[in-house]
Chains A and B, each alone.
Chain A
Amino acid sequence: MKIKKLDLSEENVEFLVKISDLSGETVTLCEQCGTCSGSCPMVSEMDITPSQMVRMVQLGESEVMDTKAMWLCASCFTCTVRCPRGLDLSKIAEALRQITLRKAVDYIDIRDLSKDEMKRLPQIALISAMRKFTG
């Protein structure tokens, strides 16, 4: 079997390094075993699985920014405690969210909530959502 070395473009390497720095995680450690995707309570709602998200980051594919998996991550740390390579995917998802939020682009607008929802939602929900979805 011939093994072909992957050559990433400069641009792709830059994206990989950026996410690695922001997350503090050695993203290249992932072996694509899929434990995270099998454990994720949100996976059925996602367009790509957590392991696909990590794979795209490994390859420096900034197209991952167009997916919504990172926004559906609830930072529940289930993948974190199960990853056999010791990767913290919740930090990788946070890094991806931060790329958008730090451009002052919010993912939610709290003003879209109905009056009924505003009345029902406890502070703990509103504050955590604003911390995760707004810059």
Chain B
Amino acid sequence: MKVPYYPGCTLKTKAANFETSALAVAERLGIELVELPRWNCCGTVYSLADDDLIHHVAAVRNLIRVQEMNAQGLVDDEYRLVTLCSMCFNTLKQANVRMSENPEDLEKINDLMYLEDDYEGRVEVKHLLELVDELGFDKVEEQVKNPLEGLRIAPYYGCMLLRPTEVGIDDPEDPQIQTRMLEALGAEKIENPYRKVCCGSYQTVQDKKVVSNLAYDILTHARNAGADAISLSCPLCAFNLDSRQREIKEDHPSFREIPVFYFTQLMAMAFGLSEDYCGFDLNYIDPEPLLSAKGIIGGSNGE
């Protein structure tokens, strides 16, 4: 199954480990993620001002590329656009919803981009987690060669996968989709209410303290609930929860660092794929000691 795939900026640099692991596990599941030709930045955040149409142009232009892929035969009648990054997902999907609900807005944007084909409104923006859910987590389970037994993972959703409700992939107050994933991978899931609390997002640029305080709460609650590590799907959450542990440690010397995984890295480990796909060198807190301690890498069942 060939599906159009939108990477976004950070997946090509600081979160390259998210992309390499995702492409590899998707392939195992029979999904070929075909990168959108000539994709551009989605805008990162959805413009919330009512009159600010110009900032939706970037998102809509990417949706037009999906039509082109179909026209060029790069995919076969496949209008689902898959993202990995939660922020890209949210921005593209909110723009798509606005276009479908406001034909006048769409007409204006189409007129502005007169050199492009008109956007016809057929694209469906999907997060990889949703696509895997549609495929069935039993298919994930079938691929597991190295179950993550004994690894206690706290799923973290943050905001952009869940809210606002019109675009969320799960119940915004009681999300379960990552839990089903972790169960399929053989990991022990650790639920805690902080899984849907905002990490502070872009505030990390203007006041890192605000973010490290939030991250401290989120991580400490996960740790106290028994988690060994966190699983997530957003490069900005990953930065705030992983890299900002440096700031947390400065403020709270007794803080016990906790590894933060992209869910696809966990899938790759469980599928028995080479560690090269996981790119753990890009994780701030090295997860390898934990994975070795749990016998997931090294030893007899790892590579």
Contacts and interface: CB of A to CB of B under 8 A. Distances in A.
Given A77-B159, A132-B45, A124 B9 contact: yes
B203 A74 contact: yes
A108 B206 contact: yes
A127 to B, nearest CB: 4
A23 interface: yes
Interface in A54-113: 71-72, 74-78, 80-81, 88, 90-91, 93-95, 98, 107-108, 110, 113
Contact of B165 (A23, A81, A91, A133): A81
Given A122-B10, A131-B44, A22 B51 contact: yes
A107 B206 CA distance: 9
Nearest to A73: B203
Interface in B150-178: 158-159, 162-165, 172-173
A97 to B, nearest CB: 9
Contacts of A21: 50-51
B159 A129 contact: no
Nearest to B12: A123
A22 B50 contact: yes
A34 B243 CA distance: 33
B205 A125 contact: yes
A123 B14 contact: yes
A133 B202 CA distance: 10
Contact of A91 (B15, B48, B85, B239): B48
Given A22-B49, A75-B201, A124-B10, A42 B210 contact: yes
Contacts of A38: none
Contact of B205 (A24, A41, A98, A129): A129
A22 to B, nearest CB: 5
Nearest to A45: B210
Q: Which secondary structure dominates chain A's binding surface?
A: helix
B164 A125 contact: no
A128 interface: yes
Nearest to A23: B50
A121 interface: yes
A76 B236 contact: no
B23 interface: no
B259 interface: no
A90 B45 CA distance: 12
Interface string B1-45: 000000011100111000000000000000000000000010111
Contacts of A126: 205
Given A81-B164, A121-B204, A122-B235, A94 B9 contact: no
B87 A128 contact: yes
A98 B49 CA distance: 8
B214 A129 contact: no
Contacts of B158: 76
B198 interface: yes
The 7 A-B residue pairs with the shortest CB-CB distance, nearest first, are: A24-B50, A77-B163, A76-B198, A129-B205, A94-B48, A128-B202, A122-B14
12 contacts: A24-B50, A71-B206, A77-B159, A78-B198, A108-B206, A120-B239, A121-B239, A124-B44, A124-B235, A126-B205, A128-B201, A129-B206
Given A42-B203, A94-B49, A132-B202, 10 more contacts: A21-B51, A71-B206, A81-B162, A91-B48, A94-B47, A94-B48, A124-B85, A125-B239, A129-B203, A129-B204
Interface of B: 8-10, 13-15, 41, 43-45, 47-52, 55, 85, 87, 158-159, 162-165, 172-173, 196-198, 200-208, 210, 213-214, 235-236, 239, 243
